[in-house]
A and B are shown apart, each in its own frame.
Chain A
């Protein structure tokens, strides 16, 4: 069985430079270290990413010029691992899916690099910061453009490393270092599942490889997807474990809020716009596998929906401006997972894009606020900033309306698409839709709460801080403006059919995801009839249910506006509503949310403490020192006693005698043999 994916491969050595330019930037800034002036460091770092963006755009245009079914550029650099039939290339490929991702990452990445010029200008780690930032873009582009699953994994762990380095960037505070370590370790737990998935996939596929085919190449895997079918559920779920780490889903989301310890541009770039969407990208990349397992897809959808809800409820109670945005990010990532889980991969990627615009904007805006507030992040002492930070305020408001799904801003289109697919997609239904719908309202509410507490009313900071409040410099506000524009118009490319558009975004991605559906249909003989029928039914519903779709969109728009209004009313007037709600049932529901459901504490008590106790008191002190050394080695068992006396003998300083007598013994033995012969 061969999928209808075209096999005409166009070699395009441009791709490697998209990846390597940021590495080059990192190498120059890293090795020359402090010998370069700040201006040169900034120029090199921004230039590398900017060029990378231009090259991505060039490659994208070349891709667009090709007929839809043969949109694939390949750049094989060298053989990476070659041993027997295990062949893994060091290579890159670009198709419509990762072309979009490449543009998002290099584009938004470039804007955040520029923003950082201003934000980090007074930091003595300026060079180090830009080195890490460039290194991150390199790793992220390896992840995105990697031609096979192992190259993706190189980038996958690479971005994890950069995340670690940047979260603990201000390592003078031990808390920051701890947060960085937590991020890396939690991601490694996810990678544990991911690697097992890779092993199972490899072991399943290996016997069926044709001559010259690379084992983990995405094209090869898709070509042989039928042989993966029997193991698809297990492989998909194991890979998904990796995605729950990288994309902060239940149960591994706990690292992302702590990751806010890093400088704010890092939160915007890595922990909102790009890296955390890697799990979503990976699932979309492996769509041909996931569609083979309705069960795994359902798990993805449910975890996504549950994460969206859990994080949104926590976001309502947080007082740290970045923590609110962090939980919001977790929640929005849940949306993207939900989309993937109901087979709406294009909708998931669409939300990746719009979210990259408005969430990067919101984080950078919060950075501008924090910058103005002399480093303060607690919203309870903010307020009234809109007059002094007009650009920050208006762009922030655009981002808020975008994430709240106000028509016709970017978030409206992508979120609505996901809501609709949660209802009508494969395995979708009223339950998933209801959760997603609820989350939409909560999102609007907590975002407006954030805006009001930060920008509205009177400033509640001390006189010293208040005196210093100022709008940020141009390098910081310019990216805000660009991102605000994108947050407004960025969704129009996916203008849906029920509003008279043609969703060009979905069309562009169609060839990537169509292959998966063909595979699923072809494997139907193996028990995937329901899936294939579901796909067909969903397709049919898309045409018949336009009226319903329009009605639901109207409902969610109203619901979002309601959330915004409620947030405004509760927090802008000095009403007692918020206090009353907090006091419900003795205040414990509020405390549970404020303390994030005590999940960190539960993990600590269930795994971390017992693990350390086991290692220290049982394994080291008891097994190693007590049983093995004490009992078996130095103890009184018969054999050991012999060694014991030897030990005493040797400790008396006779070891030299022993050593030489042994040597002599061997010599005597040798002589004996020679005489005998």
Chain B
């Protein structure tokens, strides 16, 4: 066993890749391909449980580290590590893996081995991205995610799949290119691709601003932050269910993860300068996404725009520049992964039966499909952030953190505006639920639809249980991430931190703004 546990991160990362290779080469028949993919994903989940149980929550230092010189005399290395933040997102990824594969059992019938191969390839790339502690390695994983996702949308997608796939590809590529330039620039200053070397750099303010911009753009497109979001609804509408679930469940979090892991600790000056602008965009995204979701005629597009709103909360939490807000943001990533992942699965269920997602086509579905209606309602409530469910804990921490932030200008005003998203969330979700499930079942095509099958229940129930579990026992997550968040945010605590009283430790700034930055500053005058 020790040959596994000594390199556990590599095993978790590359097991899906191995499965993917098998699917491309050896296992070419539909049935075995499905079983192999499911088996590999389950095995990967079991492996990741080792991480969960052997993780030491008391420290924020990377654990299970693997470091092997790779290129350029070891200045570039194969360097994996995991802290609490990575742990949470990795668990979300490995959990969604088998769920997604099982959900495609009936939905995908063409080129099954290739499809499963892309899913596993994507999983490997995502896990690698969360583990990578070498910037080049990170970038390789980061870009590697693009390719399988591109094909999943472009080959197995809907009518306008090619447009959507290309839009997705180009949006993401544009951001990534700037980040690559930034990475290379920093490599030549740091003399190493090691993240620690990057963190040790003391870059001048001007350079920090440019670099922050380059990194942030890549991450903001991925989130997506308003106004960079227009690729998302198209990608979701055209993607097959499995693609949407992974997209919403994990891929979008790459953006917020990247901000937290790289953009924020590497460039404190950039954070200080741009936090007012970014938090404002986040709040606009919260309200804008909700309002546009409200008027969508397509269920899937509605859920896609709701993601813009929910991820706006996640970005707001990060740039509240408080520990509480950042923790809430991480919590939101998990809560959104569960609830929106489940919503896309549920939309897939009805799409498989009716081959449409137009809200006006439905109505009164609760009559014939009580189990489906019940689980859909629970997920709707989770998405609305009902207390007792995961989303509430996240939104509460984000909003409370932003409200109490002494660093972020206008934190209270932003909280007031962002809180309207909580009201709007109830409106667009409940209105959609009403039009799809309640009322009379007038459309004859909605009669005789089968309720959830056993397989579909198996797919959905773990997510439902976790929505409640994380709502009632947030300590499961919070206890494991606190030290890591402290450590990641440490570089931001510059220049005379406030006195560390009990209250101070929470709402006081992780970051002291330079003189004159305490106001809304759209862009930096020095940069013009």
Contacts and interface: CB of A to CB of B under 8 A. Distances in A.
Given A185-B423, A629-B230, A203 B71 contact: no
Contacts of A676: 72
Contact of B147 (A211, A624, A659): A659
B506 interface: yes
A254 to B, nearest CB: 15
Interface residues of B, number: 76
Interface in B127-165: 136, 139-140, 143, 146-147, 150, 154, 162-163, 165
Contacts of A164: 430
Nearest to B425: A188
A4 to B, nearest CB: 25
A623 B305 CA distance: 14
Contacts of A200: 403
Contact of A81 (B393, B430, B439): B393
A327 interface: no
A662 B147 CA distance: 10
Contact of B438 (A80, A83, A171): A171
B426 A673 contact: no
A192 B507 contact: no
Contact of A196 (B72, B167, B419): B419
Contacts of B341: none
Contact of B72 (A83, A611, A674): A674
A90 B147 CA distance: 46
B364 interface: yes
Contact of A158 (B387, B420, B482): B387
Nearest to B171: A633
Contacts of B169: 650, 655, 659
A184 B478 CA distance: 30
B166 A647 contact: yes
Interface string A68-94: 000000000011111111100010000
B128 to A, nearest CB: 14
Interface in B414-451: 415-416, 419-420, 422-423, 426-427, 430-431, 434, 437-440
A199 B426 CA distance: 20
A598 interface: no
A195 interface: yes
A655 B166 contact: yes
A578 interface: no
A188 B422 contact: yes
Contacts, number: 195
A192 B419 contact: yes
Given A174-B438, A177-B439, A662-B143, A85 B422 contact: no
B71 A80 contact: no
B294 A615 contact: yes
Given A154-B388, A203-B507, A619 B292 contact: yes
Nearest to B72: A677
A209 interface: yes
Interface in B381-395: 381, 386-388, 393
Contact of B434 (A84, A178, A616, A677): A178
Contacts of A83: 323-324, 327, 397, 474, 478, 482
Interface string B294-330: 1110000000000000000000000000011001000
Nearest to A177: B438
A79 B386 contact: no
A623 B226 CA distance: 11
A628 interface: yes
Interface stretch (B27-35, B116-124, B237-245, B497-505): B497-505
B503 A174 contact: no
Contacts of A647: 166-167, 170
A358 interface: no
A643 interface: yes
B482 A614 contact: no
**Contact-residue size bin, chain A (C-beta under 8 Å from the other chain):** 35 or more
A651 B166 contact: yes
Contact of B136 (A632, A655, A670): A670
A203 B431 CA distance: 34
B73 interface: yes
B230 A628 contact: yes
Interface string A180-201: 0100110011011001101110
B482 A84 contact: yes
Given A199-B415, A673-B72, A185 B427 contact: yes
A154 to B, nearest CB: 4
B211 to A, nearest CB: 19
A620 B131 CA distance: 38
B65 interface: no
A603 interface: no
Interface string A617-647: 0011001100011001100000000010011
B404 A206 contact: yes
Contacts of B419: 192, 195-196
Interface in B468-490: 472-475, 478-479, 482
Contact of B364 (A85, A172, A209, A619): A172
A655 B438 contact: no
Contacts of B478: 81-83
A199 B400 contact: yes
Nearest to A181: B430
Contacts of A208: 503
A663 interface: yes
B399 interface: yes
Interface in A639-671: 643, 646-647, 650-651, 655, 659, 662-663, 666, 670
Given A206-B506, A670-B71, A154 B230 contact: no
Contact of A153 (B143, B387, B431, B482): B387
A157 interface: yes
Query: Which one of B367, B420, B503 has the greatest number of beta carbons of chain A within 10 Å?
Result: B503
Contacts of B437: 171
B366 interface: yes
A612 interface: yes
B388 A643 contact: no
B415 A196 contact: yes
A663 B141 CA distance: 11
A232 interface: no
Given A196-B416, A199-B399, A185 B430 contact: yes
B442 to A, nearest CB: 10
Nearest to A612: B295
A79 B479 CA distance: 12
A390 B400 CA distance: 57
A230 to B, nearest CB: 15
A651 B393 contact: no
Contacts of B381: 161
A188 B429 CA distance: 13
A377 to B, nearest CB: 21
Contacts of B494: none
B163 A651 contact: yes
Query: Which one of B296, B399, B472, B506 has the greatest number of beta carbons of chain A within 10 Å?
Result: B506
Contact of B324 (A80, A84, A157, A161): A84
Given A83-B478, A196-B416, A670-B71, A171 B366 contact: yes
23 contacts: A82-B479, A83-B323, A83-B327, A83-B397, A83-B478, A83-B482, A158-B388, A161-B381, A161-B386, A164-B430, A172-B367, A177-B439, A178-B434, A196-B403, A199-B415, A209-B503, A623-B288, A633-B230, A651-B162, A651-B163, A659-B169, A674-B72, A677-B75
Interface of A: 78-86, 90, 150, 153-154, 156-158, 161, 164, 168, 171-174, 177-178, 181, 184-185, 188-189, 191-192, 195-196, 198-200, 202-203, 206-209, 211, 611-612, 614-616, 619-620, 623-624, 628-629, 632-633, 643, 646-647, 650-651, 655, 659, 662-663, 666, 670, 673-674, 676-677
Which 9 pairs across A and B sit closest by C-beta, in order of nearness?
A: A677-B72, A207-B503, A177-B438, A174-B439, A674-B71, A615-B291, A199-B403, A206-B503, A616-B295
Given A84-B505, A168-B434, A633-B167, 5 more contacts: A83-B327, A196-B419, A655-B165, A662-B143, A670-B76
